[in-house]
Each structure stands twice: as C-alpha cells, then as structure tokens.
Homo-oligomer: A and B are copies of this chain.
Amino acid sequence: MNKRIQLSTETLRCSTCGLGQFCLPVGMAPADAHKMDELVQLRLRVGKGQPLFRAEDGLDAVYGIRFGSLKTLVELADGRQQITGFHLPGEVIGLDGLGRETHASTAVALEDSEVCVIPIRDLSVVATHLPSLQRQLLRLMSRELENDQQLLLSLGAMRAEEKLAAFLISLSDRLSARGYSSSQFVLRMSREEIGNFLGLTLETVSRLFSRFAKAGLLRINQKEVELVDVPALRQIVGRQC
C-alpha cells in the first residue's frame, strides 16, 4: 500500500516548492499560490512498480509529482497495454479523468516516488473563485493534449530510428528544463517500456541503442545514457519536433 504523509504547516508547501514552475501553481501570483497550500494537505509515497491509481477507479484527486517518476498507460480487454507517458517531477497526472470523475488511465511508479495529493472536490471549489487556477488547469490539460499528439505522430508517422531519437531528445529536453544534465541521464524505464511507448518491441529498442552507439551518436551502458551527438539525433527526427 502507498504510504501517506500528512503535511504540517512547517512542511514544504506549494508556495515554496521549487517545482512550482512546472506544477499547478505556474504563473500564479504569490497570493494565489498560497491558496494552493490549503489544497494540498497530503502526500503519498509510491513504491517502485506500485500503482498510484488504476483506469476505471473513481477519481477523487489528481497528483503532482514531487520526486521520482511514473508511467501512465491504457489497456485493451485482452491485457495488451499502451504506455501513454513517462512523467517527471512537477508534472500533474490524473487530469485525463477529470471529465468523467473516473480515471481514464493507470499510473505506475517507475521508481520509489512521492506525489502531492490534490483532491478534486477542493480543487473545483477553489478554482471557482480563482481564475488563475482555472487557467492553469486548462493550460496543463492542453499541454497533455499536445504531448499525446506528439506521441501519435511518433506512433503513426515515424520509423523506428526516428521514434527512438525523438524519445531521447524529448527526455533530454525535459530533464534539462528541470536542472538535470541534458546529455547524461538514467533511463528509469526498461527497454520493454520504451518499446511499448514507441510502438516497438524491446529487441528493436535494444538493437537501435546498439546501432546508435556504434554510430557514435550516444554511449549506453544498461540504463545509463550519454547523448554524444545531439545535433545528429535531432537530424534523425527531422530537425524539428
């Protein structure tokens, strides 16, 4: 089970959280950001491999990632699944269920992680009187739509090589926006998960990593990657994505 962490007034809150620039409070005036503090009273620890929520579950909260990383996925009746996203600290997940008040996807931790619980009951109450929060919700959801559309482009219109290059570039950009190295990082997901995400098999992903490494585009050792020739990788994608 996921471990609950009750927040006291002393604890780090939204208004002082360094991830604010990616999370719900983006672009809010300090006064408004303080109202977020009332909203988030609880955090959850989610162990590696543990689900945070499952598709079809009733939705009573959305979640901001404090540390760690999670994947979201949707499933077919026969068990086949499609990973729809890998999520980093500062991202808010669960928004795709807001309409039906039922989760549309399942979220699973890729590593031990911690998330801030944002109860939607309170969220909608606060948002009613807080235009900046309304706007931010719409902004986050439309960003998620854009992400899905990029993934659709990957799955539908790219070849294997381009898919993996696009994946690495995108991950590099997101990590670098969060202050991590853009060229050296650890893949928290397995080859199989990358393959599933991109519509490839794990063997194809592994072969592509080997081929990219042989071509001098990157170095790879298990889950550690170092992008050596980013411009070449970008060119594989098509110099714009």
Contact = CB atoms under 8 A, between A and B. Distances in A.
Contacts of A97: 142
Contact of A148 (B127, B131, B149, B238): B149
Given A82-B153, A152-B155, A156-B82, A76 B134 contact: no
Contact of A127 (B134, B139, B150, B158): B134
A199 B76 contact: no
A144 B98 CA distance: 11
B77 A140 contact: no
A105 interface: yes
A145 interface: yes
A190 interface: no
B76 A141 contact: no
Given A135-B124, A156-B82, A149 B241 contact: no
Contacts of A134: 127-128, 134
Contacts of A197: 156
Query: How many subunits of this chain does the assembly comprise?
Result: 2
Name the interface size band of chain A: 35 or more
A78 interface: yes
Given A134-B127, A139-B99, A145-B96, A76 B157 contact: yes
A138 interface: yes
Nearest to A151: B152
17 contacts: A74-B150, A76-B158, A76-B241, A77-B238, A78-B238, A81-B157, A99-B139, A124-B131, A134-B134, A137-B138, A138-B141, A141-B145, A144-B145, A152-B155, A155-B155, A155-B199, A156-B199
